[in-house]
Structure 1
Amino acid sequence: MKEDILGVNVNTENYDALIPQLFRNIDDKKKSLIVAINPEKLMKAKEDPELKALLNRAEFQIPDGIGVIIASKLKKGNITARVTGVDMMDRIVREAARTGHAIYLYGAKPGVADKAAQKLKDTYPALIVAGTQDGYEPDSEKVIQTINKAQPAILFVAMGSPKQEQWIEQYRDRLHPTLFQGVGGSFDVLAGNVKRAPAVFQRVGAEWLYRLLKEPSRLKRQMTLPKFLIKVLTQK
């Protein structure tokens, strides 16, 4: 099921409901793109029709952001829990290790994807990592050929949004993988280069507050949340 938030469709299901759908699509050779939805992205999409269309063309839009949950509650909707990009990636990897589906990591600075892949292998020894590629190869044709030669079922792309989603959408019909997810800075988190908020902040959906405390310069960016909620209320 999906719910409309400022003109963008957002999945209402949690991880346990989404994972079987994703892997059924893999088994059925039905290509799927996962995009993470947060207030900042929704506000940008409101002003950018092309971005809004791109987000709505994705097969899965996960509610990655406490503001999306609050917005759904204000609308008396059915989105009750966050589905974060980094945690969705972990759930997909866990299921891929269990089912034998190979993954591929593309993006980030040289060496980061390799380190992230090794961390995933340490956590899930049965995981098949078909390959990695940093995000600094300028020739997309070469990247496509390398990925296709490795024949992964799942491709994680870490370029930042919306660049990663635009790249996936441009080339997905030519790529071997069936499931695609843009994962932003997740490779850096997995590699240990960037620390996630402590678990207590994650549980209450306050990772934004932790980042703000660590980086006060983010205050202007965080002001998007109240503006977003006002938009939701006025369009209720």
Structure 2
Amino acid sequence: MKFELLNGVKTYAPDSRKQLIDYAVTHHKIMVAVNAEKILHATEQSRAIINRNLGYPDGVGAVWAIQKKGHKSTVKIPGCELWLEVIKSYYTSKSFYLVGGKQAIIEATVTKLKKEFKGINICNYRNGYIKTEAEEQDLIDAIKTYKPDVVFVAMGSPKQELLMERIQKQHNAVYQGLGGSFDVYTGSVKRAPMWWVKNNLEWAYRLFKEPSRIKRQIHLVRFFFNLHLNRY
């Protein structure tokens, strides 16, 4: 699968969700979402984290930047949908370990997954409040014991990516960072209606619902200006 460097951020150009998932599973990758904000505000640390792993176009800004490089068939793959696609593709044949969110959220997530994907093998799970090295080591030891094929970690960047890298050194599997995806999945956080999502206006809906995001959204104007000038 081909990739491009966008402000130094190595971002792959999948033609479909299946292509990305198959590549991640075959190569036991850590999947990291890339969007306009991560490209625009890339630091030495954030670039290194993404470039060591499998950065995929989570937002339309990343997709447009890749398409301007000549990969016209590249598709947007929202992370909050991708992890469910992974489960849909492999829930009858692979095992899963879930980490992240408040205790009530992770329990609601597991309950809903078992209801929607009959027979899914969720070998274990825990909340995302890992406060000490001992608690992290307990998690790593548990994952080494259960040996899941896929591990989802929903804790926010870069914390989740750094944790996944430490775990992967002890247990080789497929990993994906999910941010707040468990909250969205369980309905505790509402995602934009599908019309806004399909028309690449999810950012506008979130701004409408949360006007305080305006300071973050203003930076996106600079991203698209730079994109227009072929600076990525």
Structure-1-length-normalised TM-score = 0.89
Residue equivalent to 2:202 = 207
Contact 1:130 1:150 in 2 (8 A): yes
Correspondence for 1:32: 29
| SS of residue matched to 1:62 | strand
Helix, strand or coil at the partner of 2:118 = coil
Residues 151/21 of structure 1: CA separation in 2 closer, same or farther (3 Å cut) = same
Instruction: Report the equivalent of 1:190.
Output: 185
**1:156 matched to 2:149:** no
Classify the secondary structure of the residue corresponding to 2:94. Answer: coil
RMSD: 1.7
1:62–1:84 Cα contact (<8 Å) kept: no
Partners of 1:122 and 1:38 in 2: CA distance: 32
Structural mapping, 1:9-158, within 5 Å: 9-13=10-14, 14-25=16-27, 31-45=28-42, 48-58=43-53, 60-78=54-72, 80-98=74-92, 100-138=93-131, 139-158=135-154
Return closer, same or farther for 1:121/1:32 CA change in 2, 3 Å cut-off. same
- Partner Cα separation in structure 1 for residue 26 and residue 68 of structure 2: 33
What stretches of structure 1 of length at least 5 have no aligned partner?
Answer: 26-30
What's the % identity of the aligned pairs? Answer: 33
Say if 2:179 is the partner of 1:179.
no
> How many Å apart are 1:69 and its aligned residue?
2.1
Confirm or deny: 8 A CA contact 1:36 1:61 kept in the other structure: yes
Aligned partner of residue 26 in structure 2, secondary structure: helix
Give, in angstroms, the shift of residue 234 of structure 1: 5.0
Q: Structure 2 length as normaliser, TM-score?
A: 0.91
1:120-139 residue CA offsets vs partner (Å, 9 max, x unmatched) = 22111121111111011322
Question: Number of residues paired by the alignment?
Answer: 226
Q: CA deviation at 1:79?
A: 5.6
Deviates more, 1:12-21 or 1:87-96: 12-21
Distance in 2 separating the partners of 1:96 and 1:117: 16
Cα separation, 2, equivalents of 1:117 and 1:186: 13
Helix, strand or coil: the match of 2:72? coil
Partners of 2:231 and 2:25 in 1: how far apart? Answer: 36
The structural deviation recorded for 1:174 is 1.1
User: What secondary structure is seen at the aligned counterpart in 2 of 1:219?
Assistant: helix
* CA deviation vs aligned residue, 1:94-146 (integer Å, no higher than 9, x gap): 11213x10111101112211211221221111211111110113221111122
| Residue aligned with 1:174, SS | coil
DSSP-derived class of the 2:192 partner: coil
Deviation at 1:206, TM superposition (A): 1.4
Specify the code of the residue in structure 1 equivalent to 2:17: Y
